[in-house]
Amino acid sequence: MAPTAIYTPSPSQITSEVKKSLMNASSPHEIVKGPVLAIGSLDTAQDGKQMLDRLIDGAISLAPSNYTSIHILLSPSEYTSLSPSLPSLLQQTLAGLTPLGTLHLLNLTAGFLSLPHELTLAGFMVIESVRDGPDARIVAQKPLPIATPLPSALPIRRKTDPAKQSSKKALWALSSPSTPTIDAEALLTAADRERPVPTCDPVIVGAPRRKKACKNCSCGLAELEAEEAKSGKVVLLDSDNAVEVEAGDMAKSLIAAAKAAPKATSSCGSCFLGDAFRCASCPYLGLPAFNPGEKVEIDFGMDDI
């Protein structure tokens, strides 16, 4: 799925158990009311796990500066396995928080000593940290935007070492084109490879359509398209007549139909404007715009098939 903003569950969707623990954990620093995001896991909440994985792998991203607080509630083993992806997750949550918004990491186990350091590196300011007990948690805050940047808000950057730089330049430029290459596909993680599920909205007959039918169409779009192709009409115009003709042997039927031409009438009077302004039942659909009263000619003599 293309990354789109995650719409936060409204507070009423958070189950009452989770809500209670959120209330207990809420920090006195929380000063602004606004959308709250809760991220849980299979072990602790209902459907948070997928979101967490997707956030980490960058498959989805949070709407920037959107949440006044984000609460993460995982089981101990999940926190442990989160370690390697922690920088990525922290980056994402930082971006998703409003300035002065808070990140709450709840239900932590004792082994989490490096968390404050990681949070600071990511740009957070740690405002509360409870190491032990059932309430072990860390609360960190996103600083205000930059009029006066706080040094701790910037990631630690390495100064460019000129000696190392020139040796790297050499490595990059002189590496021979015949050097064997790595297997590029091996770079991809399981989440990268996950087959995207194309969104297939139900077909509404007559409504504008985005997609063509897929090869294994199961929603009826393919049948609809086939029907349209068969019964598609062609319109021949002259002066103020419009004649409908079956698609098929174009040249012959057009000439024949021109002779037996009943008048077709427009229901809205905007036919001459062009497809952008024509109604769905306009006999002129597919034809260019024209000036009212003029004869529209299309050279049907060309090879049509």
258-297 binders of other proteins (CB under 8 A): 273-277, 285-289
- Residue 143 near residue 153 (C-beta atoms within 8 A): yes
The token duo for 183 is 């297997």
What 145-153 contacts at long range (C-beta under 8 Å, 24+ apart), as own/partner pairs, is: 145/99, 150/125, 152/120, 152/123, 152/125, 153/123, 153/125
- Residue 144 near residue 97 (C-beta atoms within 8 A): no
- The reply to whether 224 sits in an annotated binding site is no
Give the span between the Cα atoms of 149 and 142, in whole angstroms: 12
| Interface size with other proteins, residues (CB under 8 A) | 82
Contact between 233 and other proteins (CB under 8 A)?
no
- Match 């009029």 to its residue by tokens: 147
- Least distance CB 118 / other proteins (angstroms): 8
Instruction: Kindly identify the residues of this chain, within the stretch 115-154, that bind other proteins according to CB under 8 A.
Output: 117-118, 121, 123, 145-147, 149, 151, 153-154
- The reply to whether 88 sits in an annotated binding site is no
Q: Is 239 exposed, middle or buried (0-12, 13-18, 19+ CB in 10 A)?
A: exposed
Which residue among 23, 205, 207, 260 contacts other proteins (CB under 8 A)? Answer: 207
Piece of the chain touching other proteins by CB under 8 A; list 43-51, 103-111, 161-169, 255-263: 161-169
Which residue among 10, 12, 16, 160 contacts other proteins (CB under 8 A)? Answer: 160
CB-nearer residue toward other proteins: 11 or 288: 288
- The reply to whether 268 sits in an annotated binding site is yes
Could you give the string, one character per residue 14-53, with x where binding to other proteins holds by CB under 8 A and - elsewhere? ----------------------------------------
Instruction: Kindly identify the residues of this chain, within the stretch 170-199, that bind other proteins according to CB under 8 A.
Output: 171-173, 175, 177, 179-185, 187-189, 192, 195-199
Contact between 302 and other proteins (CB under 8 A)?
yes
The token duo for 17 is 């158990």
- The reply to whether 219 sits in an annotated binding site is yes
Which residue among 46, 80, 165, 265 contacts other proteins (CB under 8 A)? Answer: 165
Closest CA to 105 of 81, 60, 149, 136: 136
CB-nearer residue toward other proteins: 23 or 182: 182
Give the span between the Cα atoms of 255 and 189, in whole angstroms: 62
- Least distance CB 172 / other proteins (angstroms): 4
CB-nearer residue toward other proteins: 11 or 64: 64
Instruction: Kindly identify the residues of this chain, within the stretch 78-117, that bind other proteins according to CB under 8 A.
Output: 87-88, 91-92, 95, 117
Strand 67-73 and strand 97-106: the pairing is: parallel
Which residue among 23, 113, 156, 260 contacts other proteins (CB under 8 A)? Answer: 156
CA distances from 128 to 25, 103, 131, 155, 304 (A): 11, 10, 10, 21, 74
Give the span between the Cα atoms of 238 and 219, in whole angstroms: 40
The token duo for 14 is 């958070």
Annotated binding site for [4Fe-4S] cluster: 268, 271, 279, 282
Enumerate the known binding-site residues for [2Fe-2S] cluster.
200, 214, 217, 219
